[in-house]
């Protein structure tokens, strides 16, 4: 079995994605996690290009890395400067990294029109730059920029550029699909040709502009490449880079090429999500292998099958990549979805009883009224619990009233300085005791929330630690104007756990109440059940 080396460039190429700006502390944290994952080489940035990257390399030497080597990125020397006088190459030597990756031109048109130098001089630039870094004791990778486009334009020159890098002593020649337009079959054919003419180890660096980066990378490995470059979650400029979160499982689980340990592979989903969090981006739910929807099952036929044979609609065991199967319920579900979810939640539901079908019919009716349970597991669980014989709620609503008063300070129609007062009055029963309270808030939902808590805190003091984390409103079928159905989704939580609930009505206050009611009842039954006074 051949050895394939993993090279991560999230901190440099991935950081070129719009919306990503890593701090130095972020880069150090990600470096440590990538080392834990078993990545062989971690490209930290371009020292000298900006203060942040320069500081990163100054601090990276203090990291206690187990296996990973931190790589500094740079460019070949300037075409009109001697190699030992080039400031960029000197910085690569002085930054403290043990390895460097320098990018150079291999497409004849790029050499003539971008570098504005001769083809012959560019070959000297490549060879001399690499030889200089090698003479300083560095491991040197050569990123052959635009290689596949260059090969299609002038195959002889593209190969000569690789030979120049090899002559300089490059440890690996990395073939870059910089514009991301190469098909896997093209890449395979070109790499097969290169392998017959160049003896140095080959690598691949693919961009995802035609949704082919992972496929091109795997095709490259099948044709002899032993060095794979990519980013976590496929981050990168334009459409992104080859996604290591897909490449690594594919290499190990599909191609039998072991790059990291089984234990490390089982952490790849967690590390994927951590990198997203550090990048301040939401995790991409439909990413293969690591996304929260990668093993999601919604169709009743599928759920029925996986309940009997897990592999029937799953191409791998989700646990091998640290993920889990996920079953959601909706109007498209079958009885199997209800039974599967009930089993997950520890709620007894007979597989051949009428309860599951009754619950399914109820869900279909509710979804027709605007409810959506796919991302509101707490509301779904409450629906199940309320259907159980002998269910006793921790409290019941008698009625509520919400009043909103607007104090105008100016006679204008749009008085931005106007003040609003919302007051909610609520009656709830806990056992046989009627609680009648009122509370003010900065809006009707806030007032209702406060009034409900005020009524219940005497019995359930734990509610004081529940926060409303997110509140979303969606108008459904807006052709009814202000009389349209309104769906409200609420995310609630405390310091340990979060849960989501949903409500729907043509009345936004009622929608909010239904979601709020589920959130409070779920907390009292599932999380705080031991803390009643």
d(CA 422, CA 420): 7
Averaged confidence pLDDT in the chain: 89
Task: Kindly provide the b/e burial profile for residues 463-498, where b requires at least 16 CB atoms within 10 angstroms of the residue's own CB.
Answer: beebeeeebeeeeeeeeeeeeebbbbbbbbbbeeee
CA distances 268 to 245, 284, 294, Å, are 7, 14, 13
What per-residue confidence (pLDDT) applies to 478? 57
* Average pLDDT of the residues in 14-35: 95
Q: Residue 313: is its pLDDT beyond 90?
A: no
Q: What is the largest CA-CA distance in the chain?
A: 93
Q: Residue 119: is its pLDDT beyond 70?
A: yes
* Average pLDDT of the residues in 34-61: 95
pLDDT tier, 531 (very low <50, low <70, confident <90, very high otherwise): low
- Is the pTM higher than 0.75? The answer reads no
CATH, domain range 395-459: 3.30.160
Q: Residue 387 is encoded by which pair of tokens?
A: 């259907």
The angle that helices 184-197 and 155-168 make with each other, rounded to 10 degrees, is: 50
What per-residue confidence (pLDDT) applies to 10? 98
Domain 5-278, architecture per CATH: Alpha-Beta Barrel (3.20)
Helices (H), 345-423: 355-368, 377-386
Q: Residue 524 is encoded by which pair of tokens?
A: 């009292």
What per-residue confidence (pLDDT) applies to 309? 61
Please return the burial class of 232, using the count of CB atoms within 10 Å of its CB with bins 0-12, 13-18 and 19+. buried
Q: Residue 352: is its pLDDT beyond 80?
A: no
* Average pLDDT of the residues in 450-476: 90
CA distances 460 to 316, 381, 435, Å, are 44, 20, 13
Length of the chain: 533
- List, edge to edge, every strand of the sheet that includes 433-441: 396-407, 419-430, 433-441
Residue that wins the pLDDT comparison between 127 and 300? 127
Residue that wins the pLDDT comparison between 493 and 243? 243
Q: Residue 260: is its pLDDT beyond 60?
A: yes
Beta bridge partners of 487: 474, 504
* Phi and psi at residue 475, to the nearest 5°: -85, 130
d(CA 149, CA 134): 28
Q: Residue 414: is its pLDDT beyond 90?
A: no
* Average pLDDT of the residues in 45-70: 94
E strands, 67-221, are 69-75, 99-105, 139-145, 172-177, 202-206
CA atoms within 13 A on the CB side of 261: 8
What per-residue confidence (pLDDT) applies to 342? 74
Asked which of 49-63, 87-101, 353-367, 480-494 is least confident by mean pLDDT, the reply is 353-367
d(CA 346, CA 514): 24
Closest CA to 43 of 193, 216, 241, 259: 241
The domain segmentation of the chain, as residue ranges, is: 5-278, 296-368, 395-459
What per-residue confidence (pLDDT) applies to 377? 86
């Amino acid at each position: 079995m051949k050895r394939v080396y993993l090279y991560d460039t999230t901190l440099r190429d991935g950081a070129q994605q719009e919306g990503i700006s890593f701090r130095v502390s972020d880069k150090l944290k990600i470096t440590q996690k990538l080392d834990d994952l078993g990545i062989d080489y971690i490209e930290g940035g371009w020292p000298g290009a900006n203060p942040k990257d320069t500081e990163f390399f100054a601090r990276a030497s203090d990291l206690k890395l187990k296996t990973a080597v931190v790589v500094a990125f740079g460019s070949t020397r300037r075409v009109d400067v001697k190699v030992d006088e080039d400031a960029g190459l000197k910085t690569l030597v002085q930054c403290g990294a043990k390895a460097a990756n320098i990018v150079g031109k291999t497409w004849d048109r790029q050499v003539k029109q971008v570098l504005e130098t001769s083809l012959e001089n560019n070959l000297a630039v490549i060879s001399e730059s690499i030889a200089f870094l090698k003479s300083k004791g560095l491991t040197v990778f050569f990123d052959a920029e635009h290689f596949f486009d260059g090969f299609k334009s002038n195959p002889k020159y593209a190969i000569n550029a690789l030979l120049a890098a090899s002559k300089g002593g490059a440890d690996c020649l990395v073939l870059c699909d910089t514009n991301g337009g190469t098909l896997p079959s093209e890449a395979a054919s070109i790499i097969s040709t290169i392998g017959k003419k160049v003896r140095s180890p080959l690598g691949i660096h693919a961009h995802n502009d035609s949704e082919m980066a992972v496929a091109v990378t795997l095709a490259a490995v099948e044709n002899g490449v032993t060095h794979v470059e990519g980013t976590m979650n496929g981050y990168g400029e334009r459409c992104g880079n080859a996604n290591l979160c897909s490449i690594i499982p594919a290499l190990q689980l599909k191609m039998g090429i072991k790059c990291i340990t089984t234990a490390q592979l089982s952490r790849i989903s967690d590390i994927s999500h951590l990198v997203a969090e550090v990048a301040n981006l939401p995790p991409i739910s439909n990413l293969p292998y690591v996304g929260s929807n990668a093993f999601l099952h919604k169709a009743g036929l599928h759920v029925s099958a996986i309940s009997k044979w897990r592999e029937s609609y799953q191409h791998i065991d989700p646990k091998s990549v640290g993920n889990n199967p996920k079953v959601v319920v909706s109007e498209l579900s079958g009885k199997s979805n209800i039974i599967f979810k009930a089993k997950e939640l520890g709620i007894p539901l007979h597989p051949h009883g009428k309860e599951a079908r009754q619950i399914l019919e109820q869900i279909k009716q509710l979804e027709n009224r605007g409810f959506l349970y796919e991302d509101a597991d707490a509301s779904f669980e409450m629906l199940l619990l309320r259907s159980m014989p002998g269910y006793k709620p921790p409290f019941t609503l008698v009625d509520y009233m919400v009043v909103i008063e607007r104090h105008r300070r100016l006679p204008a129609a749009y008085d931005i300085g106007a003040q609003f007062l919302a007051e909610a009055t609520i009656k709830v029963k806990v056992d046989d005791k009627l609680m009648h309270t009122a509370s003010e808030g900065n809006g009707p939902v806030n007032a209702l929330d406060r009034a409900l808590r005020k009524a219940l805190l005497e019995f359930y003091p734990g509610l004081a630690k529940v926060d409303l984390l997110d509140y979303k409103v969606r108008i459904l079928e807006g052709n009814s104007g202000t009389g349209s159905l309104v769906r409200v989704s609420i995310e609630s939580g405390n310091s340990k756990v979060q849960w989501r609930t949903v409500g729907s009505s043509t009345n936004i206050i009622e929608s909010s109440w239904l979601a709020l009611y589920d959130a409070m009842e779920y907390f009292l039954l599932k999380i705080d059940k031991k803390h009643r006074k």
